[in-house]
Amino acid sequence: MKKVKKAIIPAAGLGTRFLPATKAMPKEMLPIVNKPTIQYIVEEAVESGIEDIIIVTGKGKRAIEDHFDHAFELEINLVEKGKLKLLEEVRRPSSVDIHYIRQKEPKGLGHAVWCARRFIGDEPFAVLLGDDIVTGDTPCLKQLINQYEMLQCSVIGVQPVSDQETNRYGIIDPIGKDGRLYQVNNFVEKPAPGMAPSNLAIMGRYVLTPEIFNYLSLQEQGAGGEIQLTDAIQKLNQYQNVYAYHFDGIRYDVGEKLGYILTTLDFAIRNGELRIPLLKALEEILSRESMQKVIG
């Protein structure tokens, strides 16, 4: 059995939802407390047993490469000042070997994954999207890899969303269920409002067999005129079973403003140093708000 050792992290998107913050900075470098979002994703991959990571980048994404590289001057400075705990934090991202490839045209998620095909070769692999951060006892990707090892088939991570949100995601049409595992009839990318076959949404974690590249290489355009990974998964599903797995864990949407703010708040509240002063400040903000309502 071939093990899942490689992962693709697509990071070529323009980050338009966060403009102008992302004019000169990749959205993947926006911090949640003190770590860029992409570092959470890389750490999940490593904790799930991934040995080789390729990040698909685009124009203006150099800061990502710098972040996962050594920073000699900074490190020497921290050594001289005896800030050893901070030094460890600064060094941690550079302890992983990361490869990079550029997506030369913004043709969609399916195209970004296809750009890494030579790096993957003939092995099963993982895809982790940076807009979703998942926390829990077992890393989300590890849960999918465990399923892959039993089934020897592609496994896609899903979680339920509300009826109003189904048009923002890839949605599955399940035909059978065994615990948290679903057999899937159809994978639909961003169904029109009211047309979703279920509420189970694809949440940015995939374990795929290399046969997916047969379908991605067709380069067929789907929703929004883009080459969609979900469409290729549906084609693969007609040739070999693709399962969906309702993973355990809290999923944070850091790909849009409100989700990003809520994630930051939640992570800060769980941070020993920030918890008490933050809760106090929040109480003050809330009471100021309700006072204003009364006056208004």
Should residue 231 be labelled a site residue for ligand G1P when binding is judged by CB under 6 A? no
Dihedral (CA of 9, 257, 253, 236) sign = negative
Should residue 58 be labelled a site residue for ligand G1P when binding is judged by CB under 6 A? no
Nearest to 144, CA basis, from 162, 114, 167, 124? 124
Pick from 203, 207, 212, 216 the residue near ligand G1P by CB under 6 A.
203
Should residue 202 be labelled a site residue for ligand G1P when binding is judged by CB under 6 A? yes
Question: How do strand 132-135 and strand 181-189 relate by DSSP bridges?
Answer: unpaired
Should residue 154 be labelled a site residue for ligand G1P when binding is judged by CB under 6 A? no
> In this chain, which residue has its C-beta nearest to ligand G1P?
170
Nearest to 43, CA basis, from 93, 90, 86? 93
Residues within window 162-191 making contact with ligand G1P, judged by CB under 6 A: 169-170, 189
Should residue 28 be labelled a site residue for ligand G1P when binding is judged by CB under 6 A? no
Should residue 132 be labelled a site residue for ligand G1P when binding is judged by CB under 6 A? yes
Q: Which residue has the tokens 């089934």?
A: 151
Nearer to ligand G1P, 16 or 95 (CB): 16
Q: Which tokens hold the place of 278?
A: 């933050």
Shortest distance, position 124 Cβ to ligand G1P, whole Å = 20
In eight-state DSSP terms, residue 191 is: P
Q: What Cα–Cα distance (Å) separates residue 70 from each residue in 50, 65, 67, 94, 228?
A: 21, 10, 8, 6, 35
Shortest distance, position 87 Cβ to ligand G1P, whole Å = 34
Nearest to 125, CA basis, from 157, 104, 148? 148
Part in contact with ligand G1P (CB under 6 A); list of ranges 59-67, 146-154, 228-236, 268-276: 228-236
Should residue 44 be labelled a site residue for ligand G1P when binding is judged by CB under 6 A? no
140, 227 in Cβ contact below 8 A? no
206, 143 in Cβ contact below 8 A? no
Total residues binding ligand G1P (CB under 6 A)? 15
Beta bridge partners, 98, equal 53
Nearer to ligand G1P, 98 or 229 (CB): 229
Pick from 157, 204, 222, 249 the residue near ligand G1P by CB under 6 A.
204
Part in contact with ligand G1P (CB under 6 A); list of ranges 42-50, 172-180, 201-209, 214-222: 201-209
Where does this chain bind ligand G1P (CB under 6 A)? Answer: 109, 129, 131-132, 169-170, 189, 201-204, 228-230, 255
